[in-house]
A and B are shown apart, each in its own frame.
Chain A
Amino acid sequence: MLEIKNLHATVDGNEILRGINLTVKKGEIHAIMGPNGSGKSTLAKVLAGHPDYKVTAGEVIYEGRNLLELSPDERAREGVFMAFQYPIEVPGVSNAQFLRLAYNEKKKHLGEDELDPLEFKDLLKERAKVVEMEASFMSRSVNEGFSGGEKKRNEILQMAVLEPKLAILDETDSGLDIDALRVVAGGVNQLRTQDNAIIVVTHYQRLLNYIVPDYVHVLAHGRIAREGGKELALELEEKGYDWIKTPDADGAGSGASAN
């Protein structure tokens, strides 16, 4: 589904990603871990197409196409979804309006039928159960006045409505208490299918107790420094990130391909 080859990216002229290689197949869950500043969130934003991040080398093939050639909105309509670490407030636009617009844009792109407000309301009611959100959230402005946990739940609700093929969760666990974490993770698990793939970007192992990854990749200095199964996350939890040897320029590629 997704193949990242030797990806380099900069923000404000600083190179943050220095040769990422990653292959994600459908049905898989991949965790991207790493200390602060290792490039985890940058990877998520590059995949979503944030304009501040410039790809300087490498390629990203998504469903057989060059993802980097697509604009952010095209990527989304093609099934790429990033749950934001800091979801944006959109005053004056209700959650229901926003979600229906996004849903219908995608349906139109796929040549499928759009939903009118009443039909969409039913769909939304159904999907809201995934993250245990009340109806009152639908008429409120997008994320405006939402608590940190509510915003993250709202991101997963958007995922539930848009049904992406590839979901990238950027530190969705940050700022969540244990109950909210359980709800959010439970939502993601319900949305997991044999046909989609999920990349979980996180600093901490605790989210991975709930969303169990097939593969764990550890980033350091913009490269994948170590890869393994879910047990790697536990090891990190125990030992911290310090023991991960910072790869030098040559070691990065071999470290990533060792698995």
Chain B
Amino acid sequence: MITEFVKSESNYQSAFREVRHARPTAAWAELVRGSAMDRFEQLGFPTVKNEEWKYTNLAPFLKEKITPAPPVEVAADTVARFVYPETASNHVVLVNGFFNAQLSSVSEQGIVVRDLFEAIADARYGKIAREYLARNATYHDNALTALNTAFLQSGLFVLIPRNVKVETPLQVTFISDSREPNSANFPRLLVVGEENSAATIVESYVSIDDRAHFTDAVVEVVLLDGARLEHYRVQRENNSALHVATTATELGRGSSYDTTSITMGAQLSRHDISVVLDHEGAECWVDGLYIVGANQHADTHSVIDHKQPHCNSHQLYKGILDGNGRAVFNGKVFVRHGAQKTDAMQTNKNLLLSDRARVDTKPQLEIFADDVKCAHGAAVGQLDPEELFYLHARGINPALARNLLTYGFAEEVIGKIKLESIRSELDQAVLNQIHAQLDE
């Protein structure tokens, strides 16, 4: 054990001590932070030798000494461009992971939206935070989650109390401001939907400029019996960013979780999303779209874990790759012993627009129950020449025809998004070269 003490100190150890000194918290949370830091020190950043990281290499990004980014001032009009109109009155901003009250406004009554760090200290919410924080996003086997957890000093706590139905979507915007070079930020979000509550949350990641930064985000969602949540995740950080994130969700009896993850930004992004169906009658839709351009790499690892009978899961992930873009999709669906009458469906489809684009897709089903309905599939393809000719034969020029078919490919995911402004933002992203409007 002596060697542990003489080992050279990591980049993060001194920063961690500073945080611990400057931002003390409840005893239980200190314990969580401390053991997460220890765990990170033991695990270290994952390397390509780790099977789960086979295709995604963080090493080139981690050469420089990375320092945790401080909370900085951001002008309100800078933030305005990141806000979707539907959520204008219900919008929370975190800068470098720090809750910013001045830039946030929540008009919806009945829901609790607080700085997570304050919620921990608050007698009303401390118990809830204690019960659910770091429960689903465990740091024991995930160094990145461990690092995020160690640097817990703000974040956001969202509680939708029992029977409360929130009409206006809540947007949570995580802004990375990397005026300090090689800075890291650790966004954290805990959402608890109590019994029979209903809400829509838009989680958005943006960069303030085009300087490189490291974002390590962790989002935990707990839905209690009969709760419903529509959850959009839109990652459009700048093309120099390294973005890693975990979304971990636990579903109660008869609850419903409908999530769509959009990945457009970052030079390298990795999203681990897991949904545990641990009570009967839960249902989830876990969809996504990654749009990967030149010099971008997007990795999605998904785990859908059916632990109890009578649960349904539906998953559709689509990818559009251009240039030398690369993507990884690894989707595991577990149907545990006794999880009878499970209905699980998983599909991953990829469209390669360039000969140099590459995708590694691996859908996996592991079934330990005998009365279930499960299907999965993966496809990688290019634009169909016959479809292109059909459009050409109607007078549509080749560049436009290509865009239109690409748009059509993405529409299966985009079309189900219920927020008009996110939909049109995505349409524009897909149709970035299109010179006609397609707003019907």
Contact = CB atoms under 8 A, between A and B. Distances in A.
Interface of A: 48-51, 71-73, 75-77, 81-82, 84, 87-94, 96-98, 100-102, 104-106, 109, 117, 139, 141, 158, 162
Contacts of B379: none
Contacts of B396: 73, 76, 101-102, 105
B409 A92 contact: yes
Contacts, number: 94
A45 to B, nearest CB: 9
A92 B320 CA distance: 14
B392 A76 contact: yes
B389 A51 contact: yes
A90 B408 contact: yes
A84 B400 CA distance: 20
B398 A104 contact: no
Interface in B382-422: 384-387, 389-398, 400-401, 404-405, 407-412, 415
A102 B395 contact: yes
Contacts of B389: 50-51, 72, 88
A92 B438 contact: no
Nearest to A71: B392
B330 to A, nearest CB: 26
Contacts of B415: 92
Contact of B405 (A75, A90, A104, A158): A90
A93 B392 contact: no
Interface centre among B386, B389, B395, B411 (most CB of A within 10 A): B395
Contacts of B440: 94, 96-97, 100, 117, 139
Interface string B413-440: 0010000000000000000000011111
B410 A109 contact: no
Given A92-B408, A101-B436, A105-B400, 10 more contacts: A48-B393, A90-B391, A90-B405, A91-B409, A91-B411, A92-B407, A92-B409, A97-B440, A101-B396, A102-B391
A162 B396 CA distance: 12
A90 B393 CA distance: 14
Interface residues of B, number: 30
Contacts of A88: 384, 386-387, 389-390
A99 to B, nearest CB: 8
10 contacts: A72-B389, A73-B391, A76-B393, A76-B396, A92-B411, A94-B440, A100-B440, A102-B396, A105-B397, A139-B440
Contacts of A49: 392-393
Nearest to B438: A97
Contacts of A71: 392, 398
B163 to A, nearest CB: 36
A133 to B, nearest CB: 16
A102 B397 CA distance: 9
A76 B390 contact: no
Contacts of B405: 90, 93
A18 B367 CA distance: 60
A81 B439 CA distance: 26
Nearest to A88: B390
Nearest to A96: B440
A65 B391 CA distance: 23
A71 B396 CA distance: 11
A73 B392 contact: yes
B254 to A, nearest CB: 32
B438 A101 contact: yes
A116 B411 CA distance: 22
Contact of B394 (A50, A92, A96, A158): A158
Contacts of A89: 387
Contacts of B411: 91-93
A190 to B, nearest CB: 20
A237 to B, nearest CB: 30
Contacts of B384: 88
A119 B362 CA distance: 47
A162 B397 CA distance: 15
A91 B407 CA distance: 9
A254 to B, nearest CB: 34
Nearest to B408: A92
Nearest to A101: B436
A66 B439 CA distance: 37
Contacts of A87: 390
B395 A90 contact: no
Nearest to A93: B408
A96 B386 CA distance: 21
A87 B398 CA distance: 18
B387 A73 contact: no
A106 B393 CA distance: 12
Given A50-B389, A72-B389, A109 B408 contact: no
Contacts of B394: 73, 76, 98, 102, 158, 162
